[in-house]
Amino acid sequence: MKLPLVAAAAAGMANAASLLPGSADITARALPDAPDGYTPKEVACPTTKPTIRDADTLSTHETEWLKVRRRATLAPMKELLDRLDLGDFDASAYIDRHSSNIDNTPNIAVALSGGGYRAMTNGAGALKAFDARTENATATGHLGGLLQSSTYVSGLSGGSWLVGSMFANNFTTISNLQASDRVWDLSKSLLEGPNQHHIQLLSTYDYWKTIIKQVHSKSDAGYKTSFTDYWSRSLSFQLINSTTDDGGASFTWSSIADMDDFKAGQYPMPMVVMDGRNPGEKIIETNATVYEVTPWEFGSWDPTVYAFAPLAYLGTEYANGSVHGDKCVRGYDNAGFIMGSSSTLFNEFLLQIDSKDIPHVLEDVIGTILKGLSVNHEDIAVYSPNPFHGHRESGADEDYARTNALSIVDGGEDNENIPLHPLIQPPRAVDVIFAIDSSADTASSWPNGTSLVATYQRSLEASQMANGTSFPPIPDQTTFVNLGLNNRPTFFGCDPKNLTSSASASIPPLVVYLPNAPYTHASNTSTFKLTYSDEERDAMITNGYNVVTRANGTLDSSSSSTWTSCVACAILQRSTHRTNTSLPAICTTCFEEYCWDGSVNSTVVDGYEPTAYITEESAGSLGRSWPGLYRVMAGMGVGVMVAMGIAW
């Protein structure tokens, strides 16, 4: 899609002209704690040996961390809600009034969908908008502080790359990731190797030699490997800042839990979502086992597994829930391997071994490796030994309890491409989920609500869902397109009184659906587009910023309510319902404007091709003169203008 002349939306787009902060540094991480790089290694077990636990409750680690984190969200939440403007409603006083019972205050989560680098960059725009550390993000019409107010952030496939890269690099800012000369340079194919400030860091030969050595070392140590090991290693070079030029081989996901700021509750809890697949099984919405990875655990709430394993000791052999023998394993939970496990769809990318980007001397070696893996149907992530072997055989699915290795695949293979599953578990008691959808559901790679439909349909299959999980009603995909629900923010589950069949049933979170749409850039790039210039990357991120802020509130001119006020209403809705507190009148207007009203329109449509929100005409209606607009765009640089599809 070619966009017409694209304008910067009012004052907010000054933010686009200053995408990068003054400092481009990402502080070197203090916790690359794997004992032997990428190779898992046997170590002495701790005094209290790790065990497998049933999924009856949250882990003790998460429960204790929540006591710190939930209280740490109150100050930024008060600042955010006061700034979002609810008129006479004193949101700060409301939070203070109920802070003695933290469960009565809003519990916020953000979910970032899959979709390759399209999802990573569009989601990055959302997190950039939600982050109070971003320049200008706390100005009028912006949403900075929502990230600091959130308890959970989940990612899947391309969304897991975003979450993983941000957290593995010390919970750095998106601006710093853009400005870094060691990560997020997407101008080189993963087949070629990483750049450092547009100069190739390693030769392609040395890059692949390093990856092959790392994976072979894991295999030689007795651990099964697959396509995903090679994919994960190449991905890590692009996403993790490692000064040793090894793609963060010693960075583990569990080390996030040991970081001082995380332990102090200074940022939300990251989760990665992936699916399980038995041999010969075809995944559908209602039968997939959904796994989650937190900083402490790997496992699933689903009845097929219904158990969690200590993440730091993944790779340890268990029998009936206890360590088998005297040794434990450390280093299996490599951060890149976790991200790669959630995005196995991209293993197909590594089959392009005839690429001109790979030296001929390596083509035969790599080709032989990948061909052998393909013949053995190992286009998955192999988790072996299976930590749940023998655990709950009488209650769990027999295949998962008795297999020696788990087959893990892309988290979006069950069509639940937005990682909502961990966030709708009743023990987490999430009130509102900001669901960033970068899916390629339509022929032209725009979302149409398929992920929400899949999650809703799965919630209706009680036997497949654990702990009374529920989800708000969702219309069909054709209705999404016909009513424009896939082209602007929509709230689902606005009235909690209509969402439960009994007093004991859990009330699902309110879902704020934020689909990818063209605001300032044609952001419907292919899922398999794996090279972006810096200008393209930044234009995608800027568009994502505009998606979640409604172009920094500039599209509210014809509305009786402002988008930022409506975001505040969504944040407070479940909390005020619990405390029997009336929301201000503006929230009634917001819910009338943004909540799905239950109507459907299933008339078949020929195709879906959205038009740009911010065009030459709409820019004029925003009151910006063309000379002034020219100065803004000139400040953004010719490359950005070209990437944004600006025609002269």
pLDDT average, residue stretch 264-276: 97
pLDDT attached to residue 397: 54
For residue 613, the tally of other CB atoms under 10 A from its CB is 22
Question: How many Å apart are CA 510 and CA 493, to the nearest integer?
Answer: 5
pLDDT attached to residue 117: 96
- Is residue 197's pLDDT more than 60? no
Domain boundaries, the chain: 11-482+489-643
244: Cβ contacts below 8 Å, ≥ 6 apart? none
pLDDT average, residue stretch 382-392: 92
Share of the chain above pLDDT 70, in %: 80
* Burial class (CB within 10 angstroms; exposed 0-12, middle 13-18, buried 19+) of 628: exposed
pLDDT attached to residue 373: 55
pLDDT average, residue stretch 561-569: 94
Rg (CA), the chain: 24
- Is residue 632's pLDDT more than 50? no
Q: Which of 72-76, 317-321, 354-358, 360-364 has the highest mean pLDDT?
A: 72-76
- For 78-87, 136-145, 343-352, 427-436, which range has the lowest pLDDT when averaged over its residues? 343-352
pLDDT average, residue stretch 297-310: 94
Confidence band (pLDDT; 50, 70, 90) for 467? low
Cis previous bond, 385, omega within 30: yes
- Is residue 190's pLDDT more than 70? yes
pLDDT attached to residue 214: 96
pLDDT attached to residue 363: 65
pLDDT average, residue stretch 338-342: 97
Identify the CA nearest to 174 among candidates 204, 151, 144.
144
What does pLDDT average to over the chain?
Answer: 85
CB 331 within 8 A of CB 35: yes
Q: Which of 11-25, 143-157, 404-418 has the highest mean pLDDT?
A: 143-157
Higher pLDDT, 226 or 360: 226
pLDDT digits (tens, 9 = 90+) for 209-222: 899 999 999 999 99
pLDDT attached to residue 630: 28
- Is residue 342's pLDDT more than 90? yes
pLDDT attached to residue 361: 57
pTM, full prediction? 0.90
pLDDT average, residue stretch 627-638: 31
Identify the CA nearest to 58 among candidates 448, 501, 426.
426
Identify the CA nearest to 299 among candidates 66, 466, 472.
466
pLDDT attached to residue 3: 41
Q: Write the CATH number of the domain with boundaries 11-482+489-643.
A: 3.40.1090.10
pLDDT digits (tens, 9 = 90+) for 525-543: 999 898 999 999 999 999 9
Question: How many Å apart are CA 23 and CA 30, to the nearest integer?
Answer: 20
